[in-house]
A and B are shown apart, each in its own frame.
Chain A
Amino acid sequence: MTTTSPSAPGTDTPALAVEGLCVDLTTPSGTVRAVDGVSFSVRRGRTLALLGESGCGKSMTALSVVGLLDPAASVTGGAVRVRGDDTLRMSPAQRRKLAGPVLSIVFQDALTALNPVQPVGRQIGEPFRIHRGLSRRQALEEAIELMTRVGIPEPRQRARSYPHQFSGGMRQRLLIAMAVALAPDVLIADEPTTALDVTVQAQIMRLLRDLQDERDMAVVLITHDLAVVAQRADDVVVMYAGTVVENGPVHDVFDAPRHPYTRGLLDSVPEDSVRGRPLPAVPGSPPELSAVPSGCVFQARCPMVRERCVQERPSLRTTGDGRTAACHFSEELARV
C-alpha cells in the first residue's frame, strides 16, 4: 500500500477524488438512482462540505467512499480515488488496509457507532492493534493518550467505562478519537454535531479543526446546516436529488449563488429576515427518488423555470474561478 504515494505533500494530487459516482438503490418498487454522477475532490488540509437536504444523496456518497453502503445499494459507476488509486476496484482486503490509516469516518450517532459491550479504551485502541500490531497494553496506552487529546477528563479511569456512561458530546469525542487514531489523509464527518446542543457542537467543531490542522487531514463535512458550512468549510458541493447542482469556494458560492436552489436555501435562513415578514421559502418539497424528472432536477420548485429546463438536464458548467453550476440560466441569476 505504501509502494506508490503520488500524494506526498506538495504534489497536486488530491487526497480524495470522487469522479462521476453513481449509486443505485433497490427498493420494493424498483431500482432508483440515489447518487447520479457526483464528482468532487479535496486536498489535505482543506475542508469540503457536501451540503443538501435529507434524501439528496450526500450520506450515500460518503458511505460509498468508505465502502460501507447498505447491501440494498450498489455503486454502478464512477471512481473513488484515494492517493490516486481507485478504491472501488480494490479487493475487500486492500480496502481494509486503507480504513484507518488513510480514510476514516465519524458518524452522526455516536451511541450506535460505538460498541455498547466493550470498554471505550479497548475500542479506541483497536486500530493500533490491527494496523500496527501493538499489544493490548500498548494499544490501551495509545488510546488513553488519544482520549486526553480529544478532551476526555480522567482518561485512564474513563477508558474502562462503556459508551452509555458518557454524555453525547463525550461520545462524539470518543468517535473522533477513534477516527483520527492512525492520522488518516481523509476524514469524512457525516453530520458530526447534528444531535448535540449548540455549546457542545461548538466544542466539537473546534476539536475537529484543531485535529485537522495538527494532522494535515482533508475533511469532507456532510451537513444540511448552511451556517456550519459558512463557518467551517473551504469549498462546498451543493446536492439536490442525487446530483451536484453547484460547487465552488464557500464564500463565492454563498455571496453570489449561481443555482436557484442554492439561492433558495440561502434565502430560507431566517437570519437576515425582518420579523413579521414572510421568509422567502422555496415552494414544494424535493422529488421522490423514483420520480426525479428527466430535465432539470429542480424544475418543479424553480422560480425561473422555462421550457428548456423541462426538455434538457443542464450539465455542470463553469461559472467562475473554480466554480460550476448546473443551470441553463445561471448567468441570469448572476445579474439579479
Chain B
Amino acid sequence: MSESRATTATSGPYADDPRESPPLLEVRGVTKTFGSGRRRLTALDGVDVRIGRGQTLGLVGESGCGKSTLARVLLGLERPDAGTVRFDGTDPFALRGKDLLAWRRRVQMVFQDPFASLNARMSAAELIGEPWRTHRDVVPDAKAREKRVRELLSLVGLRESDAHRYPNEFSGGQRQRIGIARALALDPDLIVCDEPVSALDLSVQAQVLNVLSELRTRLGVTYVFISHDLSVVRHISDRVTVMYLGKVIEQGDTEDVFERPQHPYTAALMSAAPVLKPSRDARRREIHLQGEIPSPFDIPTGCRFRTRCWRAEDLCASQTPPVVTRGTSDTAEPHTALCHFPLEAESAWA
C-alpha cells in the first residue's frame, strides 16, 4: 500500500489528490447498445470512469464484459447512445473537422497482436512515422522526422539501426515496441493499451511492461490498461475498474481492490486466477463460481451477477444493487462497488 502511494505521487502532478484537479478523462453514464429490436445487445450500461492525469487505470473483466467497447468509446471510435465523455473538459463527440483531428492526436492505442497490427510492407521507420502523414504539423520537416524516429526507437529500447528493418525481421516483443513507439509518435496524453502483452511470451512480457512503466515515469503518459491477467494489472495500475456484462461493478485503488474486494465477482475472479506462490495468499478462500457469463442479449434483472453469485438473495433479482462506498484514507479516491451484500473488509476472503 505504501509503495503504491509513492508511485502515484511521482507519476503526475495531480495524481496525489485527484479530487482537487479535473481528471484527464471523465466518463459518466455511458451506455452503448448494438443491434435492434429483440436482438439488442447491451455492451455498456451506465459506465462511470475517471482517470487522473499520469495515472494508469487497469480495466479487468472476462470476455464480453464490455471492456473493449469502452476502449473504443474512449478512442472516439464508438459514439455512446447515452452519457457523456469529457476529455480534459471537452466532449470529443461534439468536435468536427480540424478540432476533431487535433483531439485524435491526444488519444492513441497499442494493440494486442503485434503480428496483425503492423503492415508487413512498411519498415519500422515508416510505421512509426505514419501518423505524421495525417497529423502534418506535429513534426513538419523531413530531417526532424528522421531524428524523431531515432529518438522514439531508443525510447522503447530498440536500436537506431532497426529503423530500416521490416516487421518480419523482429520478434514479437520488438514488434510490440514498434507499436508503442508508433503510439508515442503524436505525443499523446492518453494511451489505451488493449491486452498489450498477452500475445507475448512471459520472458518478453516483462520487458514490454518495463518499457511501458518507464515511459510513464519519463513522459507522464496516462494509460488505460486492458488485461485479463490480474497479476499484470496489479503490477502496472494505480486504479482498477472491474467490469461484468457491461457494468462497472467495482472500482478503486489497486491495492484496495486486490486486498479487500467488495464485490463477490471481484473476489471470485481473483480466487480463480492461479498464483505462483499460493502460500503468500494463504488467507484466500477458494471460490468456485458456477456457470458462465449470461448472454449480453438477455441480461438478468436486478443484479446481473446474481445468477452466479453464492450470496444472492431474492432482493438481488428484484432490485438493482446500490453503489456502496468503503471509506478509505483521505488521499485515496473512493473504493466503490455495486452490490446489495458487499464483502466486509475482514470477510472470509480477506
Contact = CB atoms under 8 A, between A and B. Distances in A.
Given A227-B276, A270-B235, A281 B201 contact: no
A227 B273 contact: yes
Interface in B257-291: 268-269, 271-278, 280, 288-289
B269 A266 contact: no
- Chain A contact patch, size range: 35 or more
Residue of B173, B232, B272 with most chain A CB atoms under a 10 A cut-off: B272
B62 A226 contact: no
Nearest to B62: A197
B7 A276 contact: yes
A224 B288 contact: no
A227 B275 contact: yes
A169 B292 CA distance: 8
Q: Taking chain A's interface residues, is the majority helix, strand, or loop, or is none over half, making it mixed?
A: helix
A278 B276 contact: no
A142 interface: no
A286 B171 CA distance: 9
A275 B292 contact: no
Given A197-B228, A203-B289, A270-B234, A53 B203 contact: yes
A226 B202 contact: yes
Nearest to A226: B276
A199 B254 contact: no
Contacts of B231: 227, 269-271
B288 A276 contact: no
Given A274-B3, A275-B236, A279-B235, A268 B276 contact: no
Nearest to B56: A275
B68 to A, nearest CB: 14
Residue of A205, A280, A283, A285 with most chain B CB atoms under a 10 A cut-off: A285
Contacts of B62: 197-200
Contact of B276 (A54, A201, A269): A269
Contacts of A227: 231, 273-276
A281 B275 contact: no
A67 interface: no
B325 interface: no
Interface in A196-252: 197-203, 205-206, 224-228, 230-232
B84 interface: no
Contacts of B63: 197
Contacts of B213: 276, 278
A264 interface: yes
A29 to B, nearest CB: 13
Contacts of A272: 276-277, 280
A73 interface: no
B265 to A, nearest CB: 9
A111 interface: no
B201 A53 contact: yes
Contact of B203 (A201, A268, A270): A268
Interface string B198-212: 000111111101100
Contacts of B174: 285
B308 to A, nearest CB: 8
B305 to A, nearest CB: 11
A205 B288 CA distance: 11
A278 B214 contact: yes
A197 to B, nearest CB: 4
A76 to B, nearest CB: 26
A275 B8 CA distance: 10
A265 interface: yes
Given A199-B272, A230-B275, A281 B203 contact: yes
Interface string B104-141: 00000000000000000000000000000000000000
A205 B273 CA distance: 11
Contacts of A206: 288
Contacts of B210: 278-279, 281
B274 A285 contact: no
B154 interface: no
Given A167-B292, A275-B236, A285-B172, A269 B273 contact: no
A53 B272 CA distance: 23
Nearest to B63: A197
A273 interface: yes
A254 interface: yes
Interface in B40-93: 62-63
A275 B289 contact: no
B6 interface: yes
Interface string B216-258: 0100000000001011101110000000000000000010000
Interface of A: 53-54, 167, 169-170, 197-203, 205-206, 224-228, 230-232, 254, 264-276, 278-283, 285-286, 301
Interface of B: 3-4, 6-7, 10-11, 62-63, 171-174, 201-207, 209-210, 213-214, 217, 228, 230-232, 234-236, 254, 268-269, 271-278, 280, 288-289, 292-293
8 contacts: A202-B289, A224-B201, A271-B231, A272-B280, A276-B3, A276-B6, A276-B213, A286-B201
Which 7 pairs, one residue from A and one from B, show the smallest C-beta to C-beta distance? A281-B206, A270-B235, A276-B7, A53-B201, A197-B62, A227-B274, A202-B272
Given A264-B203, A270-B234, A272-B276, 20 more contacts: A198-B273, A199-B268, A199-B289, A202-B271, A202-B273, A202-B289, A206-B288, A224-B202, A230-B275, A231-B275, A270-B235, A270-B236, A271-B231, A275-B3, A276-B10, A276-B11, A276-B217, A278-B214, A282-B203, A285-B204
